[in-house]
């Protein structure tokens, strides 16, 4: 196996063009240097130098090998710096997940963009899924951090940090008499509802049901969609109404109008940052710190 010291010998001999001068520069005797160059030629099966009375000149194969050796030595010289940058959260790969509704909250996109701009050496990988799937991806180490809406899923081994609470709104077909006005949740008592499937978002699903019960009615669920964003398509098709986080209005789905909810105290969509409980990497620690600071600033501004 070729060693880094042999590559240094190869490059030095090429730069000096003379074994004696190369040995002096390297601080070794000439015979061991000569032996190492010959070992490389034997291992690689090609002559690397033409020997002349006054020095050595690289062969065509030698010139290619010397350039490759310089590249390897340069990269090897950066290994310590690369490790230190990774430890500081400035280099590496960070996989971030988010729920379908989280994708439309400006806080999530702002944090991802800010982290990318602050650490251009970090490769970001993004994934959208339901909270249970995101939690499992974190445990399986396929994700490093995730923006989730619920604490009701299995979160064993995970650290959940509340960031903020987002208001919920009613999503209605256009032309609905309640569209565009702040309404009481009880005004929806006679409507049929389009919800997203409970396993996908058990926390919000249960919170909406509880709020409806508190408002004096049990919602009639007509359709269930696999994702929260899909419920807006059902509403646009005239198949019912829904209740979604306010940021979902940013989807601008044609055929959907919205109404604020006045008497739904406590009916909010939480945003949490989930990471693994064990000692985080420098990258994860940096991302968590940035997100927590931004969430605190958001709370003070509010």
* Residue 16: inside a domain: yes
Distance of CA 186 to the CA centre of its chain: 40
Domain count, the chain: 3
Residues 198 and 238 in one domain: yes
* Residue 253: inside a domain: yes
Residues 156 and 293 in one domain: yes
Of 77, 111, 140, the last residue of a domain is: 77
| Tokens encoding 154 | 């299995």
Residues 52 and 188 in one domain: no
* CATH code of residue 22: 1.10.10.10
| 8 Å CB contact between 13 and 56 | yes
* Residue 197: inside a domain: yes
Sequential pLDDT tens for the chain (302 residues):
888 999 999 999 999 999 999 999 999 999 999 999 999 999 999 999 999 888 899 999 999 999 999 999 888 887 776 666 666 655 589 999 998 888 889 999 999 999 999 988 899 999 998 888 899 999 999 999 999 987 666 678 899 999 999 999 999 998 899 988 899 999 999 999 998 876 655 677 888 888 999 999 999 998 888 887 889 999 999 899 999 999 999 888 899 999 999 876 678 889 999 999 887 788 899 999 999 999 998 765 44
* CATH code of residue 262: 3.40.190.10
Residues 135 and 69 in one domain: no
Of 77, 106, 121, the last residue of a domain is: 77
* Residue 275: inside a domain: yes
107: region left, alpha or beta (phi > 0 left; psi from -120 to 50 alpha): alpha
Residues 176 and 235 in one domain: yes
The domain containing residue 125 runs over which residues?
89-163+270-301
Per-residue confidence (pLDDT) for residue 301, from 0 to 100 = 46
Distance CA 58, CA 41 (A): 12
Residues 254 and 281 in one domain: no
Residues 206 and 140 in one domain: no
Residues 13 and 136 in one domain: no
| 8 Å CB contact between 13 and 7 | no
Residues 281 and 134 in one domain: yes
Residues 150 and 277 in one domain: yes
* Residue 215: inside a domain: yes
Residues 134 and 186 in one domain: no
| 8 Å CB contact between 259 and 265 | no
Residues 189 and 152 in one domain: no
Q: What pTM was estimated for this model as a whole? A: 0.68
Per-residue confidence (pLDDT) for residue 110, from 0 to 100 = 95
Of 49, 77, 105, the last residue of a domain is: 77
* Residue 83: inside a domain: no
* Residue 82: inside a domain: no
* Residue 84: inside a domain: no
The H-or-E segment that residue 15 falls in is helix 4-16
What's the per-residue H, E or C state across 67-96? HHHHHHHHHHHCHHHHHHHHHCCCCEEEEE
Helices (H), 199-302: 202-214, 228-236, 282-301
């Amino acid at each position: 196996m070729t060693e880094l010291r042999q590559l240094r010998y190869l490059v030095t001999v090429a730069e000096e063009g003379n074994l004696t001068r190369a040995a002096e520069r390297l601080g070794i005797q000439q015979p061991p240097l000569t032996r190492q160059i010959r070992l490389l030629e034997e291992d690689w099966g090609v002559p690397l130098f033409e020997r002349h009375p006054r020095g050595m000149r690289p062969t065509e194969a030698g010139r290619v090998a010397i350039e490759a050796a310089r590249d390897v030595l340069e990269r090897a010289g950066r290994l310590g710096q690369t490790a230190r940058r990774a430890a500081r959260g400035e280099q590496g790969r960070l996989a971030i997940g988010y729920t379908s509704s989280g994708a439309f909250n400006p806080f999530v996109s702002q944090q991802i963009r800010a982290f990318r701009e602050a650490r251009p050496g970090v490769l970001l990988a993004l994934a959208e899924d339901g909270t249970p799937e995101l939690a499992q991806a974190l445990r399986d180490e396929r994700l490093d951090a995730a923006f989730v809406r619920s604490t009701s899923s299995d979160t064993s081994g995970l650290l959940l940090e509340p960031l903020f609470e987002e208001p919920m709104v009613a999503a209605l077909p256009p032309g609905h008499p309640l569209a565009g006005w702040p309404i009481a949740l009880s005004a929806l008592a006679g409507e049929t509802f389009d919800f997203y499937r409970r396993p996908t978002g058990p926390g919000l699903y249960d919170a909406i049901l509880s709020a409806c019960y508190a408002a004096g009615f049990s919602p009639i669920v007509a359709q269930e969609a696999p994702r929260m964003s899909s419920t807006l398509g059902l509403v646009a098709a005239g198949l019912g109404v829904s209740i979604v986080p306010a940021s979902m209005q940013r989807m601008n789905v044609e055929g959907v109008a919205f109404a604020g909810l006045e008497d739904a105290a406590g009916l909010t969509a939480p945003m949490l940052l989930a990471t693994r409980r064990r000692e985080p990497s420098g990258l994860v620690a940096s991302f968590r710190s940035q997100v927590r600071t931004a969430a605190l600033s958001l709370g003070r501004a509010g």
